[in-house]
Amino acid sequence: MKDTLITIKDDFWNEYTQLVRETVIPYQWEALNDRVQDAEPSYSIRNFRIAAGLEKGEFGGWIFQDSDLYKWLEAVAYSLQRQPDPELEKIADEAIDLIGQAQRENGYLNTYFTIQEPGKEWSNLYEAHELYCAGHLFEAAVAYYGATGKRKLLDISRRFADLIASLFGTKPGQKRAYCGHPEVELALVKLYQATGDERYLNLSLYFIDERGSKPSYFLEEWERRGRTTIWAQGEPNLEVYQSHLPVREQPVAAGHAVRAVYLYSAMADLARLTGDVKLREACERLWANTTGKQMYITGGIGATHLGEAFTFDHDLPNDTVYAETCASIGLIFWARRMLRLEAKSEYADVMERALYNNVLGSMAKDGKHFFYVNPLEVWPEASAKNPDKFHVKPVRQKWFGCSCCPPNVARLLGSLDEYIYDVSEDGSSVHVHLFIGSEAAFETSDRKIVLSQKSELPWNGLVEFKVSVKENKNDAPFILALRIPNWFHAKEPVLKINGEQVRYHVEKGYATVYRVWQDGDQAEWLLPIETQLIAANPLIRADAGKAAIQRGPLVYCVEEADNGKPLASLSLAEEPELTASIASELLGGCIVVEGNGVVLDSSGWTEGQPYQPLIRKRETVRFKAIPYYLWGNREPGEMNVWLRY
């Protein structure tokens, strides 16, 4: 994308960017330092201090704990880029100094192997996450350098990347291997783009090409370790670890969902940068399967807690779902990269769906509580007492022993401006992917342009644009391409320029109009938002005979707080008569949907009577639904997305 300065100015999203800056980042720093009362300890900063020789002790937490600090630093970088904060920058600089002290002379950096198993580096690539942690370090370094111009973390990263490049590859004496958790591949692309050093791009491509080759490196490594593993049992599961097939041959999304979408993100980057047709075809094939057959209506992916994985096409259970927050974030990463390959609205549609529903829903309104798993149906008693549902929490947690998700949310929301627009290299076209109030400044035909967007989403569908032309002339020719969302089902959206309706051409799901824009020109993009009942494909058995409520990009749910329990007895009436209204005092303000429903009459049942002949006796009720992203912010209770009809 052409160098474009983007600033978010949006009532809905500014609340979240402010929350990240003022609450989430400081809170997570406390968590990384184990200073959050009654929360699971992180051990992250403590591990770095021990590795740096500043403290004595054993390694604490998961083997990949370093990555939490790196993701936090990346979120800090985005925050500093958008709003300088000398005190926060000082804290970040001190954390970077600590990281530098923990780095070995040869560039190696991993607190687990430095503290716990020195001498066994690179001996368990299947599970030990060394390259995964390195990748998050590289991403943080690129972001921090971009935000502050300070090179220390970038130099630390390059020393480590150079070491990795010397150890892995096809030359004599190098390891023909790759990481069990893809991540370093996409990070190396970022490092290449920041430094121009093609070794990093080539190393990323090597890891992609090597993955899934035969004989399996992971099986050979397992044999060398005496057939032992850290937490898994038995022979390595190559599908879960994304190494069952070479990436260009994989027919469907399989295995660990986060690993998958991180891998696919790197594949999309490399397909664009190298022109690799087979890699691009694989991305498109895997995208079609992931989003067409294995994605929840909320933008969640990963159907089972066993391996945090995909299962098979159309298997999307609502009550035992996994839908890890990191998986939806990775899906957004992938969608963004697919948009750079080709501006097709389906990629932005998925990006928007996952963002507004699964990702936002993973964090409480206070910015201090988080979901790892994002269910579509919750029965708190089952979560507490059914071993198959222990992973499904009815309330968000302060922190997690494995806390990959909270800092991932912070870094995504902190970098949200990078997902709104694409401007062509010559400035001749501007694609608007997300309707988020903002300003985009770019250049075309020796003119400086500022495109200002004002959006009423997600509550209303009016989006307004104003064109400002700076320097030399007061006009500028370029194509404006506006996404036609897949939630909009009216005949066609209306585009007005300077108050007059204009015709537009639809290309790959975008309404495009070419014009010599004058300074002060204004465009209106009218997307009337309607409350709709959405059905699932009949092959999705968990949703057969059910419907979900959607309004614009927002999926809705019913909660016990508004509708009582058991929610499983609530069905849509024959004529639901859905109405939407503003609830300014509810959950910080939102639009709620009410409708006619029916519930089973339980008055004829006696205590201890599990079954009786069917009596079709039902009561009429008026139910209330709230946006899914807001669920779980009140007293714990039941929740449902899909309602019987």
How is residue 632 written in tokens?
Answer: 């779980």
Q: Residue 549 corresponds to which amino acid?
A: I
What three-state secondary structure class fits 192?
helix
Q: Give yes or no: 402 in active site.
A: no
Q: How far apart are CA 568 and CA 307, in angstroms?
A: 28
Q: How far apart are CA 335 and CA 136, in angstroms?
A: 19
Q: Among the options 179, 326, 404, 557, which is catalytic? A: 404
Among the listed residues 78, 76, 71, the one whose alpha carbon sits nearest the alpha carbon of residue 89? 76
How is residue 474 written in tokens?
Answer: 């007061």
Q: How far apart are CA 102 and CA 112, in angstroms?
A: 11
Sheet holding 510-518, edge to edge: 421-423, 429-432, 475-483, 510-518, 505-507
Q: Give 505: exposed, middle or buried? Use CB within 10 Å, 0-12, 13-18, 19+.
A: exposed
What three-state secondary structure class fits 568?
helix
Return the CA Rg of the chain. 25
The size of the chain, in residues, is 645
Among the listed residues 59, 6, 16, 5, the one whose alpha carbon sits nearest the alpha carbon of residue 363? 16
- 63: β partners: none
Cβ 242 vs Cβ 256: under 8 Å = yes
Q: Among the options 74, 308, 560, 594, which is catalytic? A: 308
Residue with tokens 């075309």: 444
Determine the distance from the C-alpha atom of residue 583 to the mean position of all C-alpha atoms in its chain, rounded to a whole number.
28
Reduced 3-state DSSP string for 131-189: HHHHHHHHHHHHHHHHHHCCCHHHHHHHHHHHHHHHHECCCCCCECCCCCCCCHHHHHH
Stated as kind and residue range, the H or E segment containing 507 is strand 505-507
Peptide bond just before 566 cis, omega within 30 deg = yes
What three-state secondary structure class fits 207?
helix
Q: How far apart are CA 131 and CA 185, in angstroms?
A: 9
Give residues with Cβ within 8 angstroms of 155, minimum separation 6.
none
Among the listed residues 391, 401, 268, 375, the one whose alpha carbon sits nearest the alpha carbon of residue 330? 268
The sign of the dihedral angle between the CA atoms of 353, 358, 363, 365 is positive
Stated as kind and residue range, the H or E segment containing 558 is strand 554-559
Determine the distance from the C-alpha atom of residue 196 to the mean position of all C-alpha atoms in its chain, rounded to a whole number.
27
* Pairing verdict, β 570-572 and 579-583: unpaired
Stated as kind and residue range, the H or E segment containing 412 is helix 405-414
Q: Give yes or no: 404 in active site.
A: yes
Q: How far apart are CA 543 and CA 536, in angstroms?
A: 6
Q: How far apart are CA 40 and CA 556, in angstroms?
A: 31
Q: Residue 619 corresponds to which amino acid?
A: E
Residue positions annotated with a catalytic role: 308, 404
